[in-house]
């Protein structure tokens, strides 16, 4: 079975709204999002072209692969009304979207300093990210964090200089994926991975993959921590 071209959120999908940390930033959890996990994983196995994220200047600790256009388009259509309802309070339209598959493959000892700590994808509050969990038997999800020295949970252009200055005095993170300890951050929410669970959050919210184990065949979409990811830049309709 291929990926359907009418792919969208499944009729039985359920929405849970989390408000994380002291900033009460929304994180939306859509369970049973598509009903297409097997088809998407099969596409990743047989048709997606994976390459190291570093080869395209991306800091992701692993591989990025091509995702079906129908899937990316459907995710954009599905999350636009959620963004309007729960983040902006008014209609939004897409300005730029990028979607891909991802596989975490970097051993903890090989992580760069930036990969060992939480991050934001951008300091733009109108950019949003999704993580769609596609692997059975892997509960390593996504965690959200507070920076201890500043108390920041989200970053924007105004906060960025103070955050960067404070980061210079943080402890050196040990060679592991962030668990919100001994690295200047604390975890404020951990959302476990469940197949066909999709998370939607503001890309300016400090976050990291919650990676407890690296599968033996991490680079194989049939066995690794496979996710679908979307990065959506929005504009507010006047």
Any idea where the domains of the chain sit in the sequence? Answer: 14-236
Query: Mean per-residue pLDDT for 49-59?
Result: 94
Element (H, E) at 40: helix 37-46
pTM passes above 0.85 = yes
Average pLDDT of the chain is: 93
Looking at the domain covering 14-236, what would its CATH class be?
mainly beta
Residue 4 has pLDDT above 50, yes or no: no
Residue 238 has pLDDT above 70, yes or no: no
CB of 100 closer than 8 Å to CB of 40: no
Longest CA–CA span in the chain (Å) reads 52
Residue 1: pLDDT over 70: no
Note whether 144 and 209 are within 8 A (CB). no
Report the half-sphere exposure of 6 (CA within 13 A, side-chain side). Answer: 2
Q: What's the rounded Cα separation, in Å, for the pair 66 and 104?
A: 15
């Amino acid at each position: 079975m291929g990926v359907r071209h009418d792919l969208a959120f499944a009729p039985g999908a359920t929405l849970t709204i989390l408000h994380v940390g002291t900033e009460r930033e929304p994180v939306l959890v859509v369970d049973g999002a598509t009903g297409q996990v097997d088809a998407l994983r099969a596409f990743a196995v047989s048709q997606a072209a994976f390459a190291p994220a570093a080869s395209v200047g991306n800091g992701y600790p692993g591989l990025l692969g091509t995702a079906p256009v129908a899937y990316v388009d459907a995710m954009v259509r599905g999350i636009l009304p959620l963004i309007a309802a729960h983040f902006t309070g008014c209609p939004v339209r897409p300005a730029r979207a990028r979607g891909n598959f991802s596989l975490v493959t970097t051993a903890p000892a090989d992580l760069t300093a930036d990969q060992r700590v939480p991050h934001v994808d951008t300091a733009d509050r109108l950019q949003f990210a999704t993580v769609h969990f596609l692997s059975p038997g892997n509960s390593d999800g996504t965690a959200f964090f507070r920076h201890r020295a500043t108390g920041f949970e989200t970053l924007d252009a105004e906060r960025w200089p103070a955050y960067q200055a404070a980061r210079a005095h943080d402890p050196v993170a040990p060679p592991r994926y962030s668990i919100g300890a001994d690295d200047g951050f604390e975890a404020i929410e951990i959302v476990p991975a469940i197949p066909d669970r999709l998370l939607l959050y503001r890309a300016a919210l400090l976050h990291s993959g919650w990676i407890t184990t690296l599968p033996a065949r991490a680079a194989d979409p049939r066995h690794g921590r496979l996710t679908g990811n979307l990065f959506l830049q929005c504009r507010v309709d006047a």
